[in-house]
Amino acid sequence: MKIISINTGSSSLKFSFFNMTDKSLIASGLFERIGIEGSSYTIKYNGQKIREEIELANHTDAVKILLDKLVTLNIIKSFDEIDGVGHRLVHGKDKYKESCLITDEVINDLIVFKDFAPLHNPANVLGIKAFKEVLPTVPMVGVFDTAFHQTMSEEAYLYPVPYSWYKEHGVRKYGFHGTSHRYIAKTISEKLGRDDLRIISCHVGNGGSITAIKDGKCIDTSMGFTPLAGIMMGTRSGDVDPSIITYIMEQEGLNAKEVIDILNKKSGLLGLSEISSDMRDIVASMNDGNEKAKRAFLKYTRTVTNYIAQYYVLLGGADVICFTAGLGENSEPFRSKVCENLACLGIKIDKDANKVMGEFKKISTDDSNVLVYVVPTDEELMIALDTLKLIN
């Protein structure tokens, strides 16, 4: 059984091709600048990497070339070897509580929900339609970023605003990175041989979210109505006083959209440090004595610490804290500082064990009150697993 996991952007298409018999990755790649001058693709397979600049007028072109290359590179003998296509879908509102087979109704809903993810849902539809055109008989599955968080209670997902905003306009906490958090919960539960864990999952990359998980279900999560809420991120502010928006509109002569754009793209590490949105640059500058970098690092780690502490109380304690995604998996200083901030909870990490990048590893000491693990995420495999389950 072979399945392709697809993540479609407005001008990109990322894929991972799996043999589900042993869950091995056969090939992966990225098609970039679709519909833009200078488009290209990269495919990795069997220890090789090929890259070619090629005109890609639309997503259907990208899909046709992708599938053609799988055959011409002898990765598959024919399209008949492709048993399913799984699509990462960003926003299913509160209608989609789990992954599902993609039907015309699902496609229409993605279009209806486009205002909730204007950069992602329309792109997701483009990817679906492109594969539907080229592989019309192959079943497709939609895996929603928002689905895992639909187990939150009303007191967790409702905002303290007029209830009519929720009923009439869908204003509520939705949460994101759900596929990653679900993969982390599944992986750590399997590794520890328990399905009753209280987990605090820290998906921290350029974007980031913290999720409280109990018995495999989401109890609360830091991102909200949009991915702008929650912890400080690479270029996103995270939680701020909403009155700042109207204040800056008046002071700078901006409109609301322009201020939100700044909070999304020019804030966070980048905005506070005035150096970079990349934590590696921040740490290097901080080690060179740059006070702006130090300020940004301390603020960043504090916002993550605050959410972990909040969810520790919410869960009535925690069995395990998991760090994942680009920063969570690879930044020793970041993990060290966050855990140092949590020392009052009896959380201790082993400095030598914490010198780890991108591999599954326990980094807490044997006498730590809470287990701390680095757990590499694999959203693409999670999408493939869901696709396999549903097409079977």
Beta bridge partners of 73: none
- Of the candidates 190, 183, 191, 169, the one whose C-alpha atom is nearest the C-alpha of residue 218 is 183
Question: What residue has token string 């998996």?
Answer: 329
Q: In angstroms, rounded to a whole number, what is the distance separating the alpha carbons of residues 6 and 131?
A: 10
Angle 91-94-95 (CA atoms, 0-180°, nearest 5)?
90
Cα 361 from chain centre? 21
Specify the amino acid at residue 52. E
Query: What beta strand segments (E) does the chain contain?
Result: 2-8, 13-19, 24-32, 40-45, 48-53, 84-89, 100-101, 140-144, 198-204, 208-214, 217-221, 320-324, 361-362, 371-374
DSSP state for residue 295 in the 8-state scheme: H
Backbone angles phi, psi at 228, to 5 degrees: -75, -25
Q: How many CB atoms lie within 10 A of CB 125?
A: 20
* Residues acting as catalytic residues: 145
